[in-house]
Amino acid sequence: MTQTPKFHADKDLSDEEKSEKALVPEFEKIISLKEYELEQTLKNALDSFNNLNIAQSAKEFRKIANDLKLMELLITDKGKHNNKNSLNDLTGKQWLQHTKSWVIIDGKSGDISKQIKNHPASYPPSLAEYFISYFTKAGGWVFDPFMGIGSTAQAALMTKRNCFGIELNPEYAKFTRERIQKSIDDILKINVFTGDSRKSFKIWKENNIPPIDFVITSPPYWNMLKKSRGGVKSKQKQRIEQGFDEDYGNSKFDLGNIDDLSQYLDSLVNIFKDFKKILKPKAHIMIILQNCRTKEGKMEPLAWNFALKMGKHYKLLQEFIWLQDQKFMGIWGWPTTYVSNVHHHYCLVFQNL
């Protein structure tokens, strides 16, 4: 039987040693949060290796490498700060690392409770942390108009930012408030409202929330969750069997219930267009979307078409590609038709003019 390995993190370093390693003041808290997850992943990797399951072992080791790379960004303060940096609190070296156009981030199984699993399409808090750290300074305001189960709110807490969020589903909004209550402090403000993102300005104004520095969100990917994934036993079908939510519900206000693609795109753009009233000048917006494959086998360039329409109201800067390396793979189309496993998302970056 493989013994559980231990990651050794000497938290009793002298100030001089901390300085030599360029550790940020919060490094102990970050390590304590990540250490158990790394130990479990390493144990799984070694168990798989000893059982000659080489593919699974390689997958687990890749996950460790990706997690450590993200940890390095969070706990080290490499490089020099510049007082002219008006965008974020990063050093030059950290800034450079964040500008690579793709990033591999997978959700951590230890972070996924039953309530989080119940949401059919949440992104991991570490993804939001990565972008919040680049597009805001500590104490800034982050807004998520499709809050879901609170990944953005949790990331805001981890990065010492304030957060304003709106969620249509009362169950998800309630869980988000419970999720952040465990770690909220007296300085940061996390405001989560149950409501329709079409009323964002009204909610923002009535609650005296300051102008927003950064919007990060992932709206429903059109009606994808309502469509069958094919004949094999997909992750969606497994979720249904386990009693988890198949989609976001049947609300007439839910964008995921719009079947006409043009109507969906126009509705989504109109929601974001109204945010000009609450954004700071030159504030950034990141919207995470995918292109879609219809049941008939046609690819609809959802993300690209949205970018073109949204670009009429905000400056379209660029895109990041979010890659998932641990996602379920289905043998779609076998043995006659090409259907890919889509493990990437477009993180579209816009700027308020």
Which pLDDT does position 150 carry in this prediction? 92
**Could you say which architecture CATH assigns to the domain 83-351?**
3-Layer(aba) Sandwich (3.40)
Q: How far apart are CA 328 and CA 33, in angstroms?
A: 25
Q: How far is CA 27 from the centre of its chain?
A: 22
- Site of tokens 């002298």: 14
Position 242 scores a pLDDT of 55
Q: Is the dihedral of CA 44, 50, 51, 54 positive or negative?
A: positive
Share of the chain above pLDDT 70, in %: 78
pLDDT in tens, 81-115: 899 999 999 999 889 989 999 999 986 554 544 44
Query: Is the pLDDT reported for residue 225 higher than 70?
Result: no
- Dump pLDDT digits (tens) for 175-207: 899 888 866 666 789 999 999 999 999 999 999
Token pair belonging to 146: 């499709």
Instruction: Please state, for a pLDDT cut of 90, what percent of the chain lies above it.
Output: 55
Closest CA to 21 of 32, 29, 10: 10
pLDDT value for 305 = 97
Domain ranges of the chain: 1-10+17-77, 83-351
Q: Could you report the per-residue pLDDT of 299-346, keeping only the tens digit for each? A: 999 999 999 999 999 999 999 999 998 888 888 888 999 999 999 999
Length of the chain (residues):
353
Q: What is the pLDDT of residue 41?
A: 87
One DSSP character per residue, 278-312 reads: TEEEEEEEEEEE--EE-TTSPEE-HHHHHHHHHTT
Distance CA 125, CA 106 (A): 10
Question: What pTM, to 2 d.p., does this model score?
Answer: 0.79
Q: What is the 3-state secondary structure (H, E, C) of 189-244?
A: CEEEEECCHHHHHHHHHHCCCCCEEEEEECCCCCCHHHCCCCCCCCHHHHHHHCCC
Q: What is the pLDDT of residues 2-47, one digit of tens each?
A: 555 555 555 566 766 666 666 766 677 667 767 777 888 899 999 9
